[in-house]
Each structure stands twice: as C-alpha cells, then as structure tokens.
Amino acid sequence: MSKKKLTYSLNYRKPKSEYNDSDELMICIRYYHRCDKTQKTKVIKKSTGIKCKLQDWNSDWHKTSLRSPIKDSDPNYKKKNKILKDKVKTFNLDDLFSTVKNDSFSSYLNSKLPIGPLDKKWTNHKNTIDLVSPANKRNIDVIVVGTGLAGGSACATLAELGYNVKAFCFQDSPRRAHSIAAQGGINAAKNYQGDGDSTYRLFYDTVKGGDYRSREENVYRLAEVSANIIDQCVAQGVPFARDYGGLLDNRSFGGVLVSRTFYAKGQTGQQLLLGAYSAMNRQIARGKIQMFNRHEMLDVVIVDGKARGIITRNLVNGKVERHSAHAVVLATGGYGNVFYLSTNAMGSNVTAAWKAHKRGAYFANPCFTQIHPTCIPVSGDHQSKLTLMSESLRNDGRIWVPKNVEDVDKIRNGTIKPTEINEENRDYFLERRYPAFGNLVPRDVASRAAKERCDAGFGVNKTGEAVYLDFASAITRYGKEQALVTGKDDSNDEIIQTLGKEIIKKKYGNLFQMYEKIVDQNPYETPMMIYPAVHYTMGGVWVDYNLMTTVPGLYAIGEANFSDHGANRLGASALMQGLADGYFVLPYTIGDYLSDDISTGPIANDTEEFLAAETEAKQKLEFFVNNKGSKSVDYFHKKLGKIMWNKCGMARNKKDLESAISEISKLRKEFWREVKVPGDKNEFNEELAKAGRVADFLELGELFAKDALEREESCGGHFREEYQTKEGEATRKKEFQFVSAWEYVGEPKNAILHKEKLEYQNIEVKERSYK
Amino acid sequence: MKLKLKIWRQKNSETRGSIVEYEINNISPDMSFLEMLDVLNAELILKDEDPVSFDHDCREGICGSCSLFINGQAHGPDRRITTCQLHMRKFKDGDTIFIEPFRAKAFPVIKDLVVDRSAFDRIQHSGGYISVNTSGNTQDANSIPINKDDADDAFDAATCIGCGACVATCKNSSAMLFVGAKVSQYSLLPQGQTEASRRVINMVNQMDLEGFGNCSNTGACEVECPKGISLDNIARMNRELMKASIKK
Amino acid sequence: MKNFLFTSIGKKFAMAISAIFLMIFLLQHFLINITSVFSPDIFNMLSHFMGTNPLVQFALQPILIFGVIFHFIMGFYLEIQNRSATKYEYHKEKGGANSTWMSRNMIWSGLVILSFLVLHFIDFWIPEMNYKYVEFLPDDPNRYYHELVEKFEMPWRVIFYCVSFVLLAMHLLHGFSSALKSMGTNKSYASSIKTFSYIYSIGVPLGFCFIAIFHHLTH
C-alpha cells in the first residue's frame, strides 16, 4: 500500500546554492507517494500560485506549532499562509493525479528474474529457491480462488505436495469453470510430427505472436514445461485425439508454421479441465482439499502487509465468511465481461482480481484484450452472450466478403444467396493481404481485417457486422481426395460433395451443429457468418517470475495474471499457460515464500483486519439491497459494454478513449445512485452477486481506457488508429516496450503507472509480419 | 411472440414451491431460451418482484450449469443440446411453456429452478480419477499407444458435462448414465486399469448412497443427453462391477 | 460377491438372471404347448413326462416357483425404491418423447401378467397339484390334451389370455434386451440381440395366443 502525505515546498529550478536570499520562488504542495515494496518515494508537486522570497521561507515550518511556512518577515505573511492552509484543506488528490504527466511513473518493477542463460533459468531457479519440508507443509494452509485449469491444477498439485488447500469457486462445481469452453487445443513443444518444432520455436512464436510485449523468461519457462503438461494429462486419462497407430494426433493453429496443437475434438478445454478436476477429486477424497462451491470471494485480507485470507459470500444462503491461510492464490480468469458481450461465461468476473488490485496488487496491461475473429455475430439487442467457433475452423474455412457493394446490398435484403456470388466477385481479404499465412494469421490481425471490411460497408448480415467463413472449397478438396482413396467416381460432383461433407463433419461436426442450432442455417450448404468478439484478456494482475503479485503472499495464475502472452495470445496457448502455472510453476515457487511461514502457526481469522474487511463487504451488500434505485444491474452492465466496445474495442483513438474515461466515470456515479437489487442479502440472490461484479467492472473499465490512452502505440490486441502504417498495419514503438502496471490510489483514472522494462536478449525484436 | 410461462417458484429448500403463471410479450424467435428468461426477469425486477433464479454460466452448452425441465423434457424439445442452446424458434406464438427444475430426491431444490447437484461431485470424489501425482517425470505421452477405437469411445464417454439431464429425465432418477460414462472412460484406457476394480465399486456404492434410483434401461437418458452419451456405458459399468466383484 | 448383490446394479443383475430363467422356461412351455396343435399324442407324452419326472417335479418346479416369486417381489421392491428416488412429480412430463411405453410401464405389464398367472394357476396348476398330490388320482397319460382343450371353450378366458399375452409381449420386448444390458452385454452383440429379442418377444406370446384361439375355434 502507498502512504500519502501532503507538505509545502519551494519549487527550486536549479541547485539551491545558486539562488540568492532575495529570489522569489513558487510555493508548491507536495504529495509524497511511497511504495512499501520498492521503498522508493515519488513526489508529485502542484503549484499554489503563491510565491515567497527565500529569506522568508521557514524550512522548519513543520516543527512550529502553527505550521506556517512563511515567516513574519514577509509583509503579506498572514494572508499568504492562510491561502496556503486553505489550499491544503480543500486539496483534491484526484485533481492532482489528473495533472500527472503520462510519462511519470514511480518505479521500475523488479520481476525477480533468475540469472543464467535463458534455457537454464528455470532449472537454476528451482534448484536455488527455498523449499518447505513435507512435515511442515502439513501446517501450512493455502487458499485458491477459482477452480478452472489454473486453479484446479494448482489445488491438486499443492494438495499432493502436502499443503492444506481451501478451494473456492462461484459455480456449483469446479467442473463448470469456464476453462471448459475452450475448444481448439493445447500447444506443446513435443515435436511428435517431426516438423522441426522445439522449445525455442514455441518460445519464439509466443513472443512474436504477443508482439514483443511479454516477459522472455516466463515465456521460455512456459514452452519448457509445455511437454510435461501433455505427459501429465495423458497419465490422468485425458482422451486426446489419436491416429490409427494409437499415437497422439496434432493440428496446426493460427500464427504458427508447425503442428503442435494437441486436441480432443472441439472439446479440449473440457477434457483438460475434467482431468484437473479429477486430480482435485482425489485430493478432496483424501481431505487435503476443502472445497467451497457456490462461494464468491469479496475481498482479500492483508495482515502486516501480507495476504492472509479472503472474505467470501456463500451464494446459497448469503452468509459472509472469513477464511484465513498463509498464502492466497487467485486463479479467477479474465475480465472480458467488462464488454458485457463476450465469449466469457455469464458469471466470469474481475471481482477477485480487482479487489486484490484495490488492496495493493498492481494491475498490468489492462488494455490488452483479445478479440477473437471467429464468433457467431450478434443477432439483436436481446443478446446475452457470444458464442465462439473454434479457430481450428480457419484451417479449412476461407474468409471472404463480396467485392462489390451492390452484391452486399442484395445479400442483406435477401435477393441473392452468398453461394450465388461468383469466385471473381469475392474478396478473400485475408488471403489477399497476407499471402504467406492467409486465413491462418493471428487472431488480432484476422479480427482487424474483418472489422476493416465491415467498416468499409461490406458486412454481410443485417447489422453489417459479419463476414463469411466458407467451407465449399474444403468440401470439394476433401471430396476429391476421398473419392480417389475409395476409388469412387471423382468427376461426379454429387459424390464429391457427399464425401467432402462427411470429412468436414468428422472434423468439425459439433461446431457445425452448434452453429446450426444458434443461427438456424446449415453451414454445410451456405457459408457461416462470423464476426470478431471479445474472447480473452492478456492483461491482468502483475506478477513476478514466481507468480507473486506486488502484495507478498498473494499470487495470481492463469488468465488472471498478465505474464505470458504479451499483447496478443496465440491460439491453444491459454490452456497451456493455465496448466503450466497450476501444475508446474506455482506449486514450486510458492514454497519460496511459504518457507518463512513454517513456524507461524495457523492464521487467526478474527483479527482486526479480517473483521474490518468483513464489515466493509457486508456494508456493500447492505447498500445494494437497500438502495432505492430504478435500474437493474444489467442496464448498467450493458451500457458499460457499449462504451467499451465502441471506444475501447478493436480500434482505439485518443478522443474516444478520453470520452470513455469520463463516460464510465459518470456511469459509475449513476450506478451507485440508481442501481436496484431485488431480494434479500441472506438468500440465493443472483442479482446481488451481479451487482458486486458490475461495480468492479465499472472501475476496471476506466483503468482499461486509461491504459489504452497512455499506450501510444499499436501492438497485438491494442490498436491505436493514430499509430498505423499506410496499409493499416500496427505500428509498434520501441519506447513502449514495457509492461504498464497500475497502482490503485482512488479513482481508477488516477492510478499510478509503474513500469516493467522488457528486454529481449534471446530473440530479435522485429516488425511482426505475416505477409 | 407472446407466451404463457408456467414456472416453478420455490423460495428456498425448506419451503414448498408451486407453479406460478407469467405472461410475456415481444419475444423474438432468434432469442435463446435463457435470454427469454432474462427478459422476464428484467420485467420482474422493475415490478419489484423477485426474479426467477436459474443456473446458467457458459451459455454455449458445455459447462453443464443450465438444467431446466421444459415442457416435460430435460433441456426442452430440441435434441442434443442444453437449455442454453435452445432457441425460441422451437416454440410457437401463444404457446404455454412449463418450466420446472430437474427433479430427483438426490437433487434438492435450492431456489426456484436451481438444484443442488453436489451428489455428482461426491460420486466423483469416491473414485472418478486416476491416481497420478503431478511431476515433470511421468512417462512420455506417446509411450502408451491407445487403440483409436478405444480412444474414441473413451472420449465419447468423457464428453459428459454433468448436467444431470439423465437423472432428471429418468423415471427412476437413476444416475447410471453419468456414473457409467465416467467408469467407461477410465476402463477403456490402459492408464485406468490399475484402479479399475476399486473405482467402480466405490463409485457405485456412493451412487447408491446418494439415493439415486435403479436403471431399468428405458433409454430415456441416452435420448435426452445433450452430448449423446450412449447406454452402452451403463452395460460396460455393469460388466466392470461384476468383474471387480468376482476378483474381490 | 455378496456385496455385489446388494448394490443397485447387483439387484438389477439378479432381476435379469431370474428373467432369463423365466424366459427359458417360457420357451420350453411354448414348445410343448405348440405340439397340441399338431399332435395330441406328442403333447400328452411330453406333458406326462414333465408331470411325472421327479427331477422336473421336485427340483426344477421349486426353482421355477422361486424364480417367479423372486422376480415379482424384486420387481415390486425395485419399483418402490425407484419411486422413492423420484419422490417429486413433474407437472408436465413427456415420457413418450424419449422412451417406449413398455419400457416405462414394466410394473403394469408385470401386474397384468401376475394376474394372468393367478388365473393360469387356478386353471391348470392347482387342479394338477390337486390331481397328483392331494387326491392321488390314478395316473392317466392321456388326460392332458383334453384338460387343455376344455379350458379354451369359454370366450372370455381366451380373450383374457390373449390380452395378457399381448402385455407379455410388451414386457418381453423391453425385458429381454434390458435383462441382457443389466448383465453387461457388449455393444457388439446389440444388433443380434435386438433381432433375437423381436423374434422371441413377439413369436412366443403370439404362438400362445394362436394355441388358445386354435383350440377355441376347433373344439
């Protein structure tokens, strides 16, 4: 936490000794801001408009009883002192922060990177960090919030190691965490296909895909443990796809040139999550994990500067509870729902991460959001949620819009069907713009290209926000192949179509069925319509190499942290990161911290800090159910989503971002005045839970916009219209090669920027090109 | 579209519930079923009434949270989908729709349409896993080749989302399809063999303890299962249990 | 193994074993009865053998009776258990959308069969027992055919028999494959089981109906 202090000072513009006693200097109000962690002090000054001569200045003013800085030798000393004191009294910290310049930040963050060559760092680190003996692990409790891939795997592994784990999830079972919805697959540098894949290549692809905004050491570690993940999951009984020889099958995913993605049809996330869930079950049965389903975390409790517990609400009966432990791990996923419409689950929220932020954890790169190119377009205002179609579809589908605006009009009013448009009148814009990668460019590139076409008026549905994803040529290609293999007539179009459709059905059957159920069109006959949608957030709580946040004892893993994907995540890497953090990284690095706690004994949960946090949480709940507002929680959430999508979406600019900040701030004020939450706090009350989540989104949204405003470059998922090449490609800037980590001080727009410098010693920073 | 909804309302697990009737207008056929309920709830909130509680999360048919019994069928009239994937175009203007929670003694109602399915979790705790510790040194994934057919069957069994439609739709409230799918997944894979006997015995015992009914092979579960889990998994579990009991 | 029989699956297994035993019995009963249509002599001969052979009378008959009683009691027991597991009724339930009527109503078809069995015992088994073991009447190897034919003179009895056999057919149509599933048959046999199940479940009861109607019309 930061300590704040206001003092008076003179505004010296050159060394003190160079002034004469009779020189007049401006008096400033100084704000001292000190970080506990770095012990560095940052001073922010604000001019008062009052000047005084050096000889009249009492530098020991704070020792006097009146605390007046101007001596009585100044003719107007009384008047001036009064003005100064009034200024301090009415001083608005928020105003002060708003004057803080963009480039002022308090410190460079220390990410505690191990020394040595890149490929030895993780091994060296594991060899040198402190361990906790098995006998002592029994006496140590760890809280894990969230039970998706990262949380579930961390719970299981920590419990296997011998720690007492308390796991919390807001769903009715850990198996329902939103990791389950990941479709495509999981990357691992196994090189089973012999196509030249290696740990380095996976590392390289990830850093490049992330547009050189991720931490080299973390990414290398991720690539290193990726192979272990596959071994571990297969040993757990995860049924990955196999070929006829009984060996594991792979496919290729957007943005890379090798096949390294392991998959289980279109349900890889489900299978991996159920694997982690089964590992948890084993530990629950052993009593090493205490599982709290339908519990939502409301706050982190900090005792003596360390995270020592959380406050939760039992969603079934509304009871607010205090839970203590020696360390707290947040595995609470991303904050894509700040956009209201996203592919995240309805319940996905930022509350845990945001509460941690408010208690001192820095929030890193909030504006890095991934917009996934292949989602089912919005059909109307009633829409509550967007559905993703796996990126794997881009392996066989070709993306296009009509070349001529007249055709677009005809399609929109239904006079012609897309299949009636000739090849030469179609614009396969990804293949046109990026011949090398074609339809397989990374997600950010594909999304922006689709938006560009739709903005230019070529969108193919009623809302003008959709492009086609066409399987016709893949069907023909597979059909011909199959006809040859099975010795059927390969000149008969009907046979080819039937055979081709069978192959497509085998590969993507469940996705095609899902599309048909939602859109009511048969994607085997007519091209699918897709449009980009918010999908994943690369930003999150800032963590060091040990995955610890800026609050000692508070960890963040999985999508909740920021570390591995930079400004853009490659397909099939989210599952990899979640499981890497949970199975192979956190369980070891947390020992380094917990080794100091072996003789601490159980943490009491009835101390002042716990009671205060509990009261605060209860008061907020009380406020919501008693507030006589007139608008539902969803009203505000939808409004926030609109602001975010329109002004902080796929393309951003200074003007929009500035207005987003003020609009969100206004909306937040309205929320606290007008929100209406029915029902009682001591019962199952979904609206109440939602209210708390949206309250936090309303703060995060503002920080998001601020971060986007201050990052004056385009990189990965963050695209600033001011910073683009003539061809509309992103312009990355060397001076922004850092992580922005924001410190909470009140209004989100006043957050203080800390930077983590990103240095690339093992990879050449190049213009990212997929042409 | 204009609809008449007959929804089960129940304040909490202790009180008795009843069917309450609601009228709702301006429903678009493109809405999902849950979005239709969202519209209803938005209206109820503004009228100062308690909105209808129902479980939902991913809204894309994979998390298994949603659990409504709609017009006499688990997950409604369409096949191979969950409630969240059901769209209003499956209904006609003026229809009356019954919406009830999944019913079974082992699934007590928490509120309105929300039920407690933790019995499923407890069955999984009793044996739904392969005992392997996390380490970087488990054997290489390709060192255990698995016959593609077995791998595919194991995958099909593993696609269960644990929604409980099988129990809700079964006239006996039997959980055999759920348990059978899990037992099958592991029994088809070489990794699961070592603990196969213990697993099936423990899981079946826990299933019986939770108060689920017996299977009478009506096949309703297989039809209503959003993921199309096959009845064969039950037969396989029966076989596995027999084998395990003889061995013991 | 003892524990196995007390699990839900074990109980179903026991139910299935008794069902299979009864089905085998039913088949042999049918094969003997159908001879009455072709040849009263063979029928008499076979009936006499069955009625007088000590192994059949004192080993198989008690097992059969136990099997029947076990199947019924177990059926009721499981039904009660299942009903308590469901406990709550839906206001609207479309069972027909996902399963057959016969699979959902085994208890009702079973009850009709039970009432039929009661009549059947009154018609044949009790007089038979009375004849042999109570009144010790003299052995007559040729009486069986007449006793059979006599019973089918009354139309109401023929109708009741036929109705019961229709329900028996339904009971078997589900019961046959269900029993095999409860015993864990592999899915690779599924299609042959299905074919056999249709032939058996329709053929046997239809054959019994035929016998009843045949004797009613020809005598």
Are B and C close enough to touch, i.e. 3+ CB pairs under 8 angstroms?
Answer: yes
CB A661 within 8 A of CB A702: yes
Give B200 or A58, the one with higher predicted confidence: B200
**What's the token pair of residue C100?**
């057959």
Over the stretch A321-362, which tens digit does the pLDDT of each residue have? 999 999 999 999 999 999 999 999 999 999 999 999 999 999
CA end-to-end span of chain A: 47
From the CA of A675, how many Å to the nearest CA of chain B?
11
Q: Give the torsion through C-alpha atoms of A109, A113, A116, A121, to 10 deg.
A: -150
Angle made by CA atoms C186, C191, C194, in degrees to the nearest 5? 100
- Given a cut of 70, is residue B52 above it in pLDDT? yes
Element at A695 (helix H, strand E): helix A686-710
Residue with tokens 């601020």: A706
d(CA A28, CA A42): 15
Predicted pLDDT at A93: 66
- At A185, is the pLDDT very low, low, confident or very high (cuts 50, 70, 90)? very high
- At A2, is the pLDDT very low, low, confident or very high (cuts 50, 70, 90)? very low
Question: Which residues on adjacent β-strands are paired with residue A25?
Answer: A52
- Taking an 8 Å cut-off on Cβ atoms, the answer to whether C78 and B214 are in contact is yes
Are A and B close enough to touch, i.e. 3+ CB pairs under 8 angstroms?
Answer: yes
Select from B169, B216, B225, B229 the residue whose CB has the most chain C CBs within 10 Å, as the one to mutate to test that interface.
Answer: B216
Give the residue extent of every domain in chain B.
3-111, 117-132+143-247
Query: Which of B55, B85, B140 lies at the smallest CB-CB distance from A517?
Result: B85
Output the CA torsion sign for C10, C12, C13, C15. positive
H and E: helices and strands count for chain A: 20, 23
User: Residues 32-91, chain A: which have Cβ within 8 Å of B?
Assistant: none
- Given a cut of 60, is residue A693 above it in pLDDT? yes
Over the stretch A452-464, which tens digit does the pLDDT of each residue have? 999 999 999 989 9
Helix, strand, coil fractions of chain C, as percent rounded to 5? 85, 0, 15
- Taking an 8 Å cut-off on Cβ atoms, the answer to whether A513 and B129 are in contact is no
3-state secondary structure of B151: helix
Chain A touched by B116 (CB under 8 Å):
yes
- At B65, is the pLDDT very low, low, confident or very high (cuts 50, 70, 90)? very high
d(CA A607, CA A29): 37
Select from C81, C83, C90, C102 the residue whose CB has the most chain B CBs within 10 Å, as the one to mutate to test that interface.
Answer: C90
Give A373 or A42, the one with higher predicted confidence: A373
d(CA C146, CA C44): 9
- Taking an 8 Å cut-off on Cβ atoms, the answer to whether C184 and B174 are in contact is no
- Taking an 8 Å cut-off on Cβ atoms, the answer to whether A385 and B39 are in contact is no
Predicted pLDDT at A326: 97
- At A666, is the pLDDT very low, low, confident or very high (cuts 50, 70, 90)? very high
**What's the token pair of residue B157?**
């069994």
- Taking an 8 Å cut-off on Cβ atoms, the answer to whether C98 and B216 are in contact is no
CA end-to-end span of chain B: 61
d(CA C86, CA B214): 11
Residue A98 has a CB neighbour count (10 Å cut-off) of: 11
Contact list, C178 vs chain B (CB under 8 Å): 216-217
Angle made by CA atoms A706, A707, A713, in degrees to the nearest 5? 120
Predicted pLDDT at A508: 87
Question: Which residues on adjacent β-strands are paired with residue B97?
Answer: B5
CA end-to-end span of chain C: 53
Output the CA torsion sign for A127, A130, A131, A133. positive
Residue (of B61, B114, B111, B55) closest to B86 by Cα position: B61
Query: Which of A246, A384, A387 lies at the smallest CB-CB distance from B146?
Result: A246
**Section A259-284 average pLDDT:** 95
**Section A165-191 average pLDDT:** 96
From the CA of A677, how many Å to the nearest CA of chain B?
8
From the CA of C75, how many Å to the nearest CA of chain B?
11
Element at A122 (helix H, strand E): helix A118-128
Predicted pLDDT at A105: 55
Contact list, A263 vs chain B (CB under 8 Å): none
Type of residue numbered A320 = V
- At A33, is the pLDDT very low, low, confident or very high (cuts 50, 70, 90)? low
Query: Which of A239, A265, A382 lies at the smallest CB-CB distance from B31?
Result: A382
Output the CA torsion sign for A557, A559, A560, A563. positive
Query: Which of A190, A380, A584 lies at the smallest CB-CB distance from B136?
Result: A584
Over the stretch A751-767, which tens digit does the pLDDT of each residue have? 999 999 999 999 999 88
Tell me which chain B residue has its CA closest to the CA of residue A580: B136
Exposure string over A27-46, b if 16+ CB within 10 A, otherwise e: bbbbbebbbebeeeebebeb
- Given a cut of 50, is residue A1 above it in pLDDT? no
Question: Which residues on adjacent β-strands are paired with residue A30?
Answer: A7, A45
CB A314 within 8 A of CB A321: yes
Give A656 or A392, the one with higher predicted confidence: A656
d(CA B244, CA C1): 9
B/C interface, count of CB pairs below 8 Å: 151
Select from B1, B12, B35, B62 the residue whose CB has the most chain A CBs within 10 Å, as the one to mutate to test that interface.
Answer: B62
Going edge to edge, which strands form the sheet with A41-53?
Answer: A2-10, A24-35, A41-53
d(CA C48, CA C43): 8
Mean of pLDDT over chain A: 92
Number of structural domains in chain C: 1
Chain B touched by C76 (CB under 8 Å):
no
**What's the token pair of residue C70?**
């076990």
- pTM of the full structure: 0.90
Give A487 or A173, the one with higher predicted confidence: A173
Type of residue numbered B30 = D
d(CA A328, CA A555): 6
Chain B touched by C178 (CB under 8 Å):
yes
Is there a domain that residue C157 lies in?
Answer: yes
d(CA B113, CA A86): 59
Element at B182 (helix H, strand E): helix B176-188
CB B23 within 8 A of CB B7: no
For A576-603, the DSSP string reads HHHHIIIIIIHHHHHHHHHGGGTTT-SP
> Can you list the positions of beta strands (E) in A654-693?
none
Give A14 or A157, the one with higher predicted confidence: A157
Over the stretch A238-259, which tens digit does the pLDDT of each residue have? 999 999 999 999 988 877 889 9
Pick the range with the lowest mean pLDDT from A197-211, A712-726, B111-125, C129-143: C129-143
CB < 8 Å & 24+ apart, contacts of A747-750? A747/A94, A747/A97, A747/A665, A747/A702, A748/A699, A748/A700, A748/A702, A748/A703, A748/A706, A749/A97, A749/A98, A749/A661, A749/A665, A749/A702, A749/A703, A749/A705, A749/A706, A750/A93, A750/A94, A750/A97, A750/A98, A750/A100
Is there a domain that residue C90 lies in?
Answer: no
From the CA of B41, how many Å to the nearest CA of chain C?
22
Contact list, B100 vs chain C (CB under 8 Å): 90-92
3-state secondary structure of B156: helix
Output the CA torsion sign for A694, A698, A703, A707. positive
Is there a domain that residue C20 lies in?
Answer: yes
From the CA of B237, how many Å to the nearest CA of chain A?
17
User: Residues 2-31, chain B: which have Cβ within 8 Å of A?
Assistant: 11-12, 28, 30-31
The CATH number given to B117-132+143-247 is 1.10.1060.10
Exposure string over A240-249, b if 16+ CB within 10 A, otherwise e: bbbeeeebbb
**Section C33-62 average pLDDT:** 93
- Taking an 8 Å cut-off on Cβ atoms, the answer to whether B50 and A678 are in contact is yes
Is there a domain that residue C89 lies in?
Answer: no
**What's the token pair of residue A87?**
């200024």
Q: What is the 3-state secondary structure (H, E, C) of C103-145?
A: HHCHHHHHHHHHHHHHHHHHHHHHHHHHHHHHCCCCCCCCHHH
Question: Which residues on adjacent β-strands are paired with residue A541?
Answer: A363, A561
- At A98, is the pLDDT very low, low, confident or very high (cuts 50, 70, 90)? low
Mean of pLDDT over chain B: 95
Predicted pLDDT at A60: 84
Residue (of A520, A169, A209) closest to A345 by Cα position: A169
Mean of pLDDT over chain C: 93
Pick the range with the lowest mean pLDDT from A26-40, A480-494, A645-659, C136-150: A26-40
Contact list, C177 vs chain B (CB under 8 Å): 217
% of chain A with per-residue pLDDT over 70: 96
| Residue numbers of the domain that contains C161 | 2-79+103-218
**Section B9-13 average pLDDT:** 95
Chain C touched by B116 (CB under 8 Å):
no
Query: Which of A237, A285, A380 lies at the smallest CB-CB distance from B28?
Result: A380
- Given a cut of 90, is residue A78 above it in pLDDT? no
Is there a domain that residue C52 lies in?
Answer: yes
Beta strand pairing status for A141-145 and B114-115? unpaired
Going edge to edge, which strands form the sheet with A540-541?
Answer: A540-541, A363-364, A738-743, A752-757
Predicted pLDDT at C137: 87
Predicted pLDDT at B37: 97
Over the stretch B23-50, which tens digit does the pLDDT of each residue have? 999 999 999 999 999 999 999 999 999 9
Chain C touched by B242 (CB under 8 Å):
yes
DSSP classification of residue A212 = T
Domains and CATH numbers, chain A: 2-91 (no CATH), 376-533 (3.90.700.10)
Predicted pLDDT at C211: 95
Chain C touched by B9 (CB under 8 Å):
no
Is there a domain that residue C61 lies in?
Answer: yes
Beta strand pairing status for A259-262 and A250-252? antiparallel
% of chain A with per-residue pLDDT over 90: 78
- Given a cut of 50, is residue A103 above it in pLDDT? no
d(CA C193, CA C186): 10
Residue with tokens 């299977």: B215
Are A and C close enough to touch, i.e. 3+ CB pairs under 8 angstroms?
Answer: no
Predicted pLDDT at A742: 97
- At A97, is the pLDDT very low, low, confident or very high (cuts 50, 70, 90)? low
Q: Of 3.30.365.10, 3.10.20.340, 3.10.20.30, 3.30.2130.30, which CATH number belongs to B3-111?
A: 3.10.20.30
Residue A210 has a CB neighbour count (10 Å cut-off) of: 27
Query: Which of A246, A265, A282 lies at the smallest CB-CB distance from B129?
Result: A282
Is there a domain that residue C92 lies in?
Answer: no
- Taking an 8 Å cut-off on Cβ atoms, the answer to whether C85 and B242 are in contact is no
- At A370, is the pLDDT very low, low, confident or very high (cuts 50, 70, 90)? very high
Contact list, B47 vs chain A (CB under 8 Å): none
Using CB atoms within 10 Å of the CB of residue B33, give its burial: 0 to 12 exposed, 13 to 18 middle, 19+ buried: buried
Chain C touched by B108 (CB under 8 Å):
no
Contact list, B32 vs chain A (CB under 8 Å): 384, 518
Q: Angle of helix A686-710 relative to helix A351-358, nearest 10 degrees?
A: 60
- Taking an 8 Å cut-off on Cβ atoms, the answer to whether B218 and C1 are in contact is no
- Taking an 8 Å cut-off on Cβ atoms, the answer to whether B230 and C187 are in contact is yes
Tell me which chain B residue has its CA closest to the CA of residue A376: B60
Phi, psi of B24 (to 5 degrees): -140, 135
Select from B183, B218, B221 the residue whose CB has the most chain C CBs within 10 Å, as the one to mutate to test that interface.
Answer: B218
From the CA of C199, how many Å to the nearest CA of chain B?
20
Is there a domain that residue C113 lies in?
Answer: yes
- Taking an 8 Å cut-off on Cβ atoms, the answer to whether A382 and B38 are in contact is yes
- Given a cut of 50, is residue A702 above it in pLDDT? yes
d(CA A438, CA A431): 4
Query: Which of C84, C93, C103 lies at the smallest CB-CB distance from B217?
Result: C103
From the CA of C65, how many Å to the nearest CA of chain B?
24
Cα distances from A689 to residues A301, A386, A486, A611, A624, in angstroms, run 20, 21, 58, 21, 10
Going edge to edge, which strands form the sheet with A141-145?
Answer: A289-292, A164-168, A141-145, A327-330, A554-556
DSSP classification of residue B92 = -
- Given a cut of 50, is residue A102 above it in pLDDT? no
Query: Which of B100, B105, B172 lies at the smallest CB-CB distance from C91?
Result: B100
